[in-house]
Amino acid sequence: MNRTGRPAHALQAAFALVALLPALSLQRGSRGQDPKPDMSEIVADPAALFVTNCASCHGATGDGQGTTVLDRPARSFMDGGFSFGNTPEALFRTISIGIPGTPMPGFASSLSEGQLRALADHVITLGPETLEVDTDAARLVVGERPFVVRGMLPAVSEGGEAIPRGLLIGTLDGLSFEYRADDVRLLAVRQGEFVERTDWIGRGGSALKPLGQIVHLVEDGRPEAPFALAPLLDGIERPLQCDLAGTWVSGGNVGLRYRLSNAASRRQGFVQETVQATHNPLGSGFLRQLRLNGLRETLRFRAARTTGDDALESFEQYGHVDATTKKWIAITTPSGVAHCISFATGLKDATWVIEGRSVWVELPPSKTRQATLTLTHLMIPDWNEATREVLSMESWR
């Protein structure tokens, strides 16, 4: 047994797993200034780069017949199997951040940008010939800056309703964050192309057409209020209204702002939210950073809501220097994908609260009435003791 109380053989398995994974580090906090493309690097042999990094799963010819045993077939590029688009930019983003909830890792921290782009170009050559056509003017593409559009959104889940006032944020990572804007709530996270503005066609009035595939559906597409006041002795939940105040784009960063108020219209705080992709050696996902001002009372942020078929567990990430710990929540779905969620905040007494099906982060008021809540959401396809140990190690904080 080690000082964490974990069996030694479990840690040995975890370290063995780490040796097989790319040396990627967890991205945290807001995105800084976008790095300039490093195209000065000469990639001598993109095919060799593909064999080294991709062939074990996708096969040396891209036929999907690799030597690695997976729980699902790898994509066959020869058959045109591209998950999130077959353009150089779409493939570059997919290779960089991986695909949440699948064995496909992100390579942004193990390969240079020049290598990533050369690899994306090579993958295109493995697929069938495509007809070059002009892009429809109604199709918006995220280029050098993030994109924000507003309009009607179609239902994100079967049996759901269209969202008359919707908001779609496209990041430089190739992710799209879909919100309802009348009472701000994240509905879904998509990966792939951005959006087609069908409301520009004809007389208008039609819904936006998000083009990315959903990689995370928040609470089955019908999320409850994300913020609430801590219950009083009566135990009754007191949800807060989130009124959109605006959106912003600054360099590579993008997000939205909203006000919190209770049923009596008393203002309870102001939130500036930033969104982006994130990844570590075990899986990909997304990160939300919430900067809160005006904290007068103890607030709760709903980090997740489980279903009757989900398995819920919590565990700690152990620090190696100052013996600090970081709390994680793991929600394993019937499909086997584990949604691993952690939070970081400068508030000393912030903690997880699990009540019924809701998993909350409880935020006590601070002397400055300010706090920053950073929520990391990873989707891990292979959840077992070894992956649990890797995620618990200090190097992946």
Give dist(CA 166, CA 347) in Å, integer: 32
Question: What gap in Å lies between CA 45 and CA 119, rounded to an integer?
Answer: 10
Residues 214 and 77 in one domain: no
Given a contact cutoff of 8 angstroms between Cβ atoms, the answer to whether 273 and 289 are in contact is yes
Tell me the CB-side half-sphere exposure of residue 123, using CA atoms within 13 A: 32
Within-domain flag for 7: no
- Residue 171, in any domain of the structure: yes
Q: What is the pLDDT of residue 243?
A: 93
Q: How many domains does the chain have?
A: 3
Are 298 and 334 contained in the same domain? yes
List, in sequence order, the alpha helices (H) in 26-149.
46-53, 55-58, 88-97, 113-126
Same domain flag for 196 and 335 = no
Give pLDDT, residue 324: 45
- Residues 301, 364 share a domain: yes
CATH code where residue 264 lies? 2.70.98
Tokens, residue 214? 């959903």
CATH value at residue 63? 1.10.760.10
Same domain, 256 and 388: yes
* CA distances to 129, 277, 343, 373, 376 from 28, in Å: 39, 10, 11, 12, 8
* Domain that residue 170 falls in: 139-220
Question: Do 384 and 248 share a domain, yes or no?
Answer: yes
Q: Is residue 23 part of a domain?
A: no
- The token pair at 152 is 């009607």
Q: Is 372 in the same domain as 268?
A: yes
Same domain as 194, residue 247? no
Q: Is 13 part of a structural domain of the chain?
A: no
pLDDT of residue 14: 41
**Is 300 in the same domain as 345?**
yes
Domain boundary among 220, 250, 285: 220
Task: Let me know whether 163 and 242 are in one domain.
Answer: no
* Residue 31 domain-assigned (yes or no): no
Q: Does residue 286 share a domain with residue 391?
A: yes
> Does some domain include residue 302?
yes
Query: In tens digits, what is the pLDDT along the chain, a chain of 397 residues?
Result: 333 344 444 334 443 444 444 433 333 334 444 444 443 344 668 888 888 888 888 888 887 778 787 766 777 777 665 666 667 777 888 888 788 777 788 888 888 888 888 888 888 787 766 544 444 556 888 888 898 988 889 999 888 888 989 999 999 989 999 999 999 999 999 999 898 876 554 444 578 889 999 999 998 888 999 999 988 666 677 899 999 999 999 989 999 999 999 877 677 889 999 999 998 778 889 999 999 998 888 899 999 988 877 788 776 554 333 334 567 788 888 877 889 898 888 888 888 888 888 889 999 888 888 889 999 999 988 888 888 777 776 444 4
Same domain, 113 and 208: no
Q: What is the pLDDT of residue 179?
A: 96
Distances (CA, A) of 314 to 107, 340, 351: 28, 9, 12
User: In this predicted structure, what is the pLDDT of residue 127?
Assistant: 72
What's the whole-model pTM score? 0.70
Residue 345's pLDDT is 86
